[in-house]
Amino acid sequence: MKAIVFGCFGGPDVLHEAEIEVPQPGPGQVRVRVRAAGLNALDGKIRSGMMEAVRPTAVPAVPGGEFAGVVDALGEGVRDVQVGDEVLGWSDTGAYAQYPLATTIAPKPSGLDWQHAAALPVATETAERVLNLLGVAAGETVLMHGASGGVGTVALQLAAARGAHVIATAGPSNQDYLTALGATATVYGEGLVERVRALAPDGVDAVFDLAGKGALEDSLTLRGGTERIVTIADFGARALGITFSQDPRNVRPSAWRRPRTRRPESSSPLSPRTRSTRPPRPSRSATPDTCGASSS
């Protein structure tokens, strides 16, 4: 099958198309013929090597955490899904491929096109998980840092559907977008505490940091403590006693390993495979296996 792969960590230029083995579904897994794959900020962080300290990835690897497609094969013990079902879900083996494997899927709503369906799993799971953690309820005021992106677009609408009032930050060009989604919009950056206090004189009940761009200190000031503040992107959270939330699927060490492939004898890690062996373990050294190229 065709897949997008990376054989070392670096910028987008480390991504290449390659012909790789079609994986066979194991117990509890399905194989899906992908119609659309979602792209997430995490994909770039993993590809760059930025996540190696907390979430090592064995290379060569196929990126991509989410997809929409048609079930193509069933593993042992899968009973409630049929070949031919239209689904969306999380990939176990990388979604930038024609036939990824998955253990977590949901039926694709019939009115949704493939592209929109593929963009749902990560953003909706993350948004709902954090709103639940924060206990957001009707009548409350929630501050969302960086809400114009993939997760924020969903989180803002789900919070509004709960009856909460959302004050959301974004760059100047996304203010109208936030307003159209139902938020009271303001820009991020210097003076944020004063702007939010003017918009919410009675204070904010909860803070959802989606950006990880240094807004936690302001959040502590606005909340008067660490309670009901959650970030999904700021690794400085724990030092401040603030909750960092992540999907358990994202810390599973095998989640991004390409199944049953081997390094070729040739110099390119991306040549076609004809035999199946386990890929090498990921490097645990402080310096990821970079290509010597850009690392954004």
Ligand X SMILES: NC(=O)c1ccc[n+]([C@@H]2O[C@H](COP(=O)([O-])OP(=O)(O)OC[C@H]3O[C@@H](n4cnc5c(N)ncnc54)[C@H](OP(=O)(O)O)[C@@H]3O)[C@@H](O)[C@H]2O)c1
Taking CB under 6 A as the rule, does residue 213 contact ligand X? yes
Bridge-based pairing of strands 229-231 and 243-244 is parallel
Task: Output 26 or 253, the one with its CB closest to ligand X.
Answer: 253
Counting contacts by CB under 6 A, is residue 38 touching ligand X? no
Q: Is 68 a residue that touches ligand X (CB under 6 A)? A: no
Among 24, 104, 243, 246, binds ligand X (CB under 6 A): 246
Closest separation in Å from C-beta 88 to ligand X = 16
What three-state secondary structure class fits 100?
Answer: coil
Q: Closest Cα partner for 22 from 34, 12, 14, 40? A: 34
Side-chain-side CA neighbours of 123 within 13 Å: the count stands at 22
- Of 4, 8, 18, nearest in space to 274 by CA: 18
Piece of the chain touching ligand X by CB under 6 A; list 80-88, 146-154, 156-164, 276-284? 146-154
- In the complex, the smallest distance separating the C-beta of residue 91 from ligand X, rounded to whole angstroms, is 15
Supply 70's token pair.
């048609």
Q: Among 15, 22, 36, 41, which residue sits at the site for ligand X (rule: CB under 6 A)?
A: 41
Strand partners, 61: 6
| Percent of the chain that is helix, strand, coil (3-state, to 5) | 25, 25, 50
Q: Retrieve residue 139's tokens.
A: 């009548």
End-to-end CA distance of the chain: 28
Of 211, 229, 242, 255, the residue at the interface with ligand X (CB under 6 A) is: 211
Interface with ligand X (CB under 6 A), residue from 11, 28, 75, 150: 150
What amino acid occupies position 142? V
Binds ligand X by CB under 6 A, chosen from 7, 94, 121, 212: 212
Position of minimal CB gap to ligand X: 149
57 binds ligand X (CB under 6 A): no
The tokens for 223 are 């909340």
Q: Does 124 bind ligand X (CB under 6 A)?
A: no
List Cβ neighbours of 234 (8 Å cut-off, separation of 6 or more): 209, 211, 212, 213, 214, 215, 216, 242, 244
Contact string 248-277 vs ligand X (x = CB under 6 A): ------------------------------
Q: Cβ distance 118 to 182 under 8 Å? A: no
Which amino acid is it at 207? V
Q: Does 247 bind ligand X (CB under 6 A)?
A: yes
Among 42, 68, 88, 136, binds ligand X (CB under 6 A): 42
**Per-residue DSSP letter, 162:** T
Q: Does 207 bind ligand X (CB under 6 A)?
A: no
Q: Is 91 in the site for ligand X (CB under 6 A)?
A: no
Rule CB under 6 A: is residue 149 a binding residue for ligand X?
yes
- Closer Cβ to ligand X, 90 or 99, answer by number: 90
Q: Can you tell me whether residue 52 is helix, strand or coil?
A: coil
- The reply to whether 103 sits near ligand X by the rule CB under 6 A is no
Tell me the site size for ligand X, rule CB under 6 A.
Answer: 29
Binding footprint of ligand X on the chain (CB under 6 A): 40-42, 45, 122, 126, 145-152, 169-171, 174, 188, 210-213, 215, 232-233, 245-247
